């Protein structure tokens, strides 16, 4: 049985003080929930959040680089993230793919590095509106999943989380129909079975992301293939995010 996992992606929001206040409140509100909860905060807040010693809310980063260290101005390494208490790291988010032009090869390097160093990657996949209209959704998510996991050993696969985030639904207020999202996620799981085995595929948690809110989370979580959510704007308010966790 896969444990539901709901993670908040704060993106480029919150000062350190605001992050600490929100995390403290969230920690209180989600105590006792059977759902695994994480906050993926800006780099500047990670150390302060780690110092809180939260027991229920886990810590994640929004990106990292694939090298151990070096002349990579502005980048953050896996070791640095581990040093400030991160357990998870989002990789391949559509905003990294489309704004910062990260391709599957670069994202794969990051996935391999995260796993080697002991971080759990949240690998994001999803189609644009143009790709969806062209009937390319399945091809896009299968390709991104396959390339993103290239070289990942079977022993590491169960620690990977995959987030299906249709690009056209991120931050737009539009969201994918729950049944449609379930169908796409089922295809992703089928891809995992083809790459590895059915047994391993059933161990991997696959989230839905894209304008998830308190009012629609339940319909996603009722779907058999959807194991949680990667939540953007709705995770910024502690009470609202807690209501999503308590779906």
Q: Give me the sign of the Cα torsion angle 82, 88, 92, 93.
A: negative
The token pair at 108 is: 């794969």
C-alpha distance from residue 223 to each of 45, 76, 176, 207, 216 (Å): 34, 36, 13, 11, 12
Is 98 a residue of the active site? Answer: no
The active-site residue out of 95, 127, 165, 225 is: 165
Residue partners of 24: CB distance under 8 A and separation at least 6:
52
For 145, other C-beta atoms within 10 Å of its C-beta total: 23
CB 225 within 8 A of CB 206: yes
The active-site residue out of 93, 102, 127, 225 is: 93
Give the separation between CA 96 and CA 91, rounded to whole angstroms: 8
- DSSP string for residues in 12-54: S---HHHHHHHHHHHHHHTTT-SSEEEEE--HHHHHHHHHTT-
Give the separation between CA 47 and CA 81, rounded to whole angstroms: 9
Q: Which residues are designated catalytic? A: 93, 165
């Amino acid at each position: 049985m896969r444990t539901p996992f709901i993670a908040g992606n704060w993106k480029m929001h919150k000062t350190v003080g605001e992050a600490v206040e929100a995390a403290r409140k969230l920690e209180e509100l989600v105590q006792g929930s059977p759902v695994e909860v994480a906050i993926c905060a800006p780099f500047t807040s990670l150390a302060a959040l780690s110092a809180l010693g939260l027991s229920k809310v886990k810590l994640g980063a929004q990106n990292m680089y694939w090298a151990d260290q070096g002349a990579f101005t502005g980048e953050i390494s896996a070791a640095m993230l581990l040093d400030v208490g991160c357990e998870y790291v989002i990789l391949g988010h559509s905003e990294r793919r489309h704004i910062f032009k990260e391709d599957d090869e670069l994202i794969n390097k990051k996935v391999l590095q995260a796993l080697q160093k002991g971080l759990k990657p949240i690998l994001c996949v999803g189609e644009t509106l143009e790709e969806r209209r062209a009937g390319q959704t399945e091809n896009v998510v299968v390709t991104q999943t396959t390339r993103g996991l290239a070289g990942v050993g079977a022993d590491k696969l169960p620690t990977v989380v995959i987030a299906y985030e249709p690009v056209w639904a991120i931050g737009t207020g539009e969201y994918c129909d729950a049944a449609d999202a379930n169908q796409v996620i089922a295809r992703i799981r089928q891809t995992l079975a083809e790459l590895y085995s059915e047994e391993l595929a059933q161990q991997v948690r696959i989230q839905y992301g894209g304008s998830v809110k308190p009012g629609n989370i339940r319909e996603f979580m009722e779907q058999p293939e959807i194991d949680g959510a990667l939540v953007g704007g709705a995770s910024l308010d502690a009470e609202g995010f807690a209501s999503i966790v308590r779906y």
